[in-house]
Chains A and B, each alone.
Chain A
Amino acid sequence: MRAERKLAAVNLGKLGKTLSKLKGNGVIQNHLAKLMQRTKATLFSPFKLMILVGISYVILGPIISIISHSFFSPSDLYNPSVFLIPLNPTLENYRLAFMRLGYWDTLLKSLIYIAKTTILQVLITSMAGYGFARFNFPLKKLLFGCVVVTIILPSYTIMLPLYQHFRSWDVLWLFKIFKGEALNLLQSTKPTYLLTLFGAGLRSGLYIYIFRQFFRGLPKEIEEAALIDGAGTWHTYFRIMLVNAIPAVLTVSVFSLVWQYNDMFYSGLFSIPADQNIAFRLSTIAATIRFVDEIRDPLVVQLYVYAGVVLVLLPILLLYLFLQKYFMEGLERSGIVG
């Protein structure tokens, strides 16, 4: 069908050239120009299709292979004729991975943990973004420069002092005076909450930047109207600005949820308990299965890990598919860009 149309279009294009030599009238020329354009588009589309399909494959390939491997039984693994579709599909991998991950419990706790962090993150960074976008105060440029520095500065550079800081955590030496020693906040989720509360959490700088750009794009008249109607600063902010910034809020929420969910660096640094962080627990599952369940073959252990990866990815993929449309709109409108 398509090929036919293309052929017809090409023929008409040739016809068009001869006709235009005859200096046909304006209507025909217009018509021909459109035809030429369509011909070009159809000729171009297979090329485009090829690239898009190819890159989609590059992205999806590993995921498809993980999903199919997670159903493999050990006999399929060593059968050279099996490719992608297992001969003896099994759910055993999932059963064990489920058990070793403590799936429901860990998932629930991790979701609560990342939800709390995300809410804090959105609140604090949007406040800072609003402050930078709409108010003038001394040293504003310098301070915003500092925000950019926090985006650029890799958190690895400051990991040791942070580790030591939370190893013996104290507010103005109060704990040392009254309790005799500083608190050890490691092996709990408190460091993450504290960092996020003070706008120094996972990629907070980037979120501040996104919010600032977005608030700068909103018309000032909204706030003026609110002021005239008698709304205070905080009322304006929570009831009007934040509501208008829903696209940016969505974008930042999705980023924050996903990155916090996947985060290994801070979880590792602060030894956040594995039952509150499912991605972190996944990283230990191979060792657990090898030593507790005494499955020695590393390739077979890998099958269980694949099942674990699918289990861990599932919630985040579902969330993504659900929020994808809003997320995309948010990205386009949130003015990550100017």
Chain B
Amino acid sequence: MKADRRPERKGIGNACSKAGARHTAKKRKHLTLSQKKSITGLIFIAPWVIGFIIYYARSLFLTIRFSLSDVNIVETGGYRATWAGLENFRYALLEHATFNQIFVNSLVDILIDVPFIIFFSLFIAILLNSRFKGRGLVRAIFFIPILLGSGAVLETLTLATENIQEGAGAMAAEISSSSGISMDYFIGTFIDLGLPTGMLDYVAGLVARVYEIVRSSSVQTVIFLATLQSISPSLYEVSKIEGATTYETFWKVTFPLVTPFILTNVVYTIVDSYTNSEVVTQAYDTAFTLYDYGLSSAMSVLSTVVVCMILAAVCMMISNKTFYYN
């Protein structure tokens, strides 16, 4: 076993030094340890670098080129792109029937959901981090949504959810007709109390989408949970000895240590909800049912640029308020 492992290793080692030698044949004697190490490091990441150049950088460049040209599919399966300037963007923004509306709606949805998902997942992570009976079971349940992420399974789940919600709605209607209680009545009461309508709409919208929010906040919960576990217990011990209440401990210890990951989670949430948004579906349909590659690329580029701008703005805002960074 050992005997045949060793030559193999030597072989690889030789190959490495050969690869190194090709680059620096003349200077070979002067190769310092750190240079050797940096070459090994480059070999380790080489597959990824090649992939990044071939698949990501090239594709990104091509997408931008497509968006600026009029793409015709040739019968042999290739394509011919002729320069069209900003025509595609103009069409998407000014003439396309639905793009504008879908685009704005998706953005608004993203911005509404993000804060709530963050608070919700932090809250759940704190709950799951405390000790109680059956914690393993509850955790297993809470991470199930990660498994059910996408595709036909998700569609069917959504359908089943709708059925349940319909059932609940029907039940509520039935109760309200017999007892005179209805949601509208409550909402009316809140409005009479002088609560702003915008806030009520926001809360009502969240309640209506609770299934989606729970489902899309599971990865964030995992990240927060991992963060909470990595906080050293001695900090809590100290604050306890110094006589801090639970409330103070949360705001002075837990929250500051969690802030960097609020940023991570915000980024993840925005990207995730953008990936599942309708703009993307629209771009996909434009490409593969209408075969209008130029327009589809223009839509992708537009939405990606806007989302990146939102990301940059949010990152600036939050990283100013980050108390601690590692």
Using CB atoms and an 8 Å cutoff, list the residues of chain A in contact with chain B: 45, 48, 51-52, 55-56, 58-63, 65-66, 69, 124-125, 127-128, 130-132, 134-138, 140, 143, 146-147, 149-162, 164-165, 167-168, 184, 195, 197-200, 204, 208, 232-235, 237, 255, 258-259, 262-265, 279-280, 282-283, 285, 302, 305-306, 309, 312-313, 316-317, 320-321, 324-325, 328, 331-332, 334-338
Give the interface SS of chain B, mostly helix, strand, loop or mixed.
Answer: helix
**Residue B187 interfacial (CB < 8 Å):** no
B132 CB to nearest chain A CB (Å):
7
Q: Is the CB of B160 within 8 A of A262?
A: no
Q: How far is B151's CA from A98's CA once the two chains are assembled, in angstroms?
A: 19
Contact of A331 among B48, B58, B226, B297 (CB under 8 A): B226
Q: How far is B34's CA from A135's CA once the two chains are assembled, in angstroms?
A: 9
Q: Which residues of A contact B58 (CB under 8 A)?
A: 161, 165
Further pairs besides A154-B304, A282-B151: 16, Cβ < 8 Å: A66-B156, A128-B45, A154-B274, A155-B275, A157-B301, A160-B296, A165-B55, A165-B58, A198-B50, A199-B47, A200-B51, A200-B54, A282-B153, A320-B144, A331-B222, A335-B226
Q: Which residues of A contact B304 (CB under 8 A)?
A: 153-154, 157
Contact of B141 among A56, A137, A316 (CB under 8 A): A56
The range of chain B's interface size is 35 or more
Q: How far is B50's CA from A155's CA once the two chains are assembled, in angstroms?
A: 17
Q: Is the CB of B55 within 8 A of A162?
A: yes
Q: Is the CB of B326 within 8 A of A233?
A: no
* Max chain A Cβ within 10 angstroms of own Cβ: one of B45, B54, B146, B280: B45
Q: Is the CB of B56 within 8 A of A150?
A: yes
Q: How far is B161's CA from A86's CA once the two chains are assembled, in angstroms?
A: 19
Q: How far is B265's CA from A9's CA once the two chains are assembled, in angstroms?
A: 41
Contact of A156 among B10, B62, B147, B280 (CB under 8 A): B280
Q: Which of B219-248 contact A (CB under 8 A)?
A: 222-223, 225-227, 229-230
Q: How far is B141's CA from A130's CA once the two chains are assembled, in angstroms?
A: 33
Q: Is the CB of B151 within 8 A of A263?
A: yes
Contact of A153 among B60, B78, B138, B210 (CB under 8 A): B60
Q: Which residues of B contact A168 (CB under 8 A)?
A: 77-78
A94 CB to nearest chain B CB (Å):
15
Q: Which residue of B lies closest to A135 (CB)?
A: B41
A173 CB to nearest chain B CB (Å):
14
B254 CB to nearest chain A CB (Å):
14
Query: How many pairs, one residue from A and one from B, have CB atoms within 8 Å of each other in the complex?
Result: 256
Can you list 7 residue pairs at the A/B interface with Cβ under 8 Å? A56-B138, A62-B160, A62-B164, A135-B37, A160-B62, A168-B78, A331-B225
Q: Which residues of B contact A65 (CB under 8 A)?
A: 160, 163-164
**Residue B89 interfacial (CB < 8 Å):** no
Q: How far is B115's CA from A225's CA once the two chains are assembled, in angstroms?
A: 47
Q: How far is B230's CA from A127's CA once the two chains are assembled, in angstroms?
A: 25
**Residue B23 interfacial (CB < 8 Å):** no
Q: Which residue of B lies closest to A328 (CB)?
A: B139
Contact of B152 among A60, A130, A279 (CB under 8 A): A279
Q: Is the CB of A336 within 8 A of B226?
A: yes
Q: How far is B150's CA from A263's CA once the two chains are assembled, in angstroms?
A: 7
Q: Which of B9-47 contact A (CB under 8 A)?
A: 9-10, 12-13, 16, 34, 37-45, 47
Q: Is the CB of A265 within 8 A of B150?
A: yes
A228 CB to nearest chain B CB (Å):
14
Q: Is the CB of B54 within 8 A of A198?
A: yes
B222 CB to nearest chain A CB (Å):
6
Q: How far is B211's CA from A56's CA once the two chains are assembled, in angstroms?
A: 11
Q: How far is B98's CA from A205's CA once the two chains are assembled, in angstroms?
A: 33
Q: How far is B134's CA from A45's CA once the two chains are assembled, in angstroms?
A: 13
Q: Is the CB of A262 within 8 A of B45?
A: no
* Max chain B Cβ within 10 angstroms of own Cβ: one of A48, A55, A317: A55
**Residue B127 interfacial (CB < 8 Å):** yes
Q: Which of B49-81 contact A (CB under 8 A)?
A: 49-52, 54-56, 58-60, 62-63, 66, 77-79
Q: Is the CB of B226 within 8 A of A337?
A: yes
Q: Is the CB of B161 within 8 A of A61?
A: yes
Contact of A131 among B13, B41, B143, B161 (CB under 8 A): B41
Q: Is the CB of A127 within 8 A of B45?
A: yes
Q: Which residues of A contact B9 (CB under 8 A)?
A: 232, 234-235
Q: Is the CB of A127 within 8 A of B44?
A: yes
In the complex, the 7 A-B pairs of residues with the closest C-beta atoms, listed nearest first: A135-B41, A198-B51, A131-B44, A199-B48, A158-B59, A264-B151, A283-B152
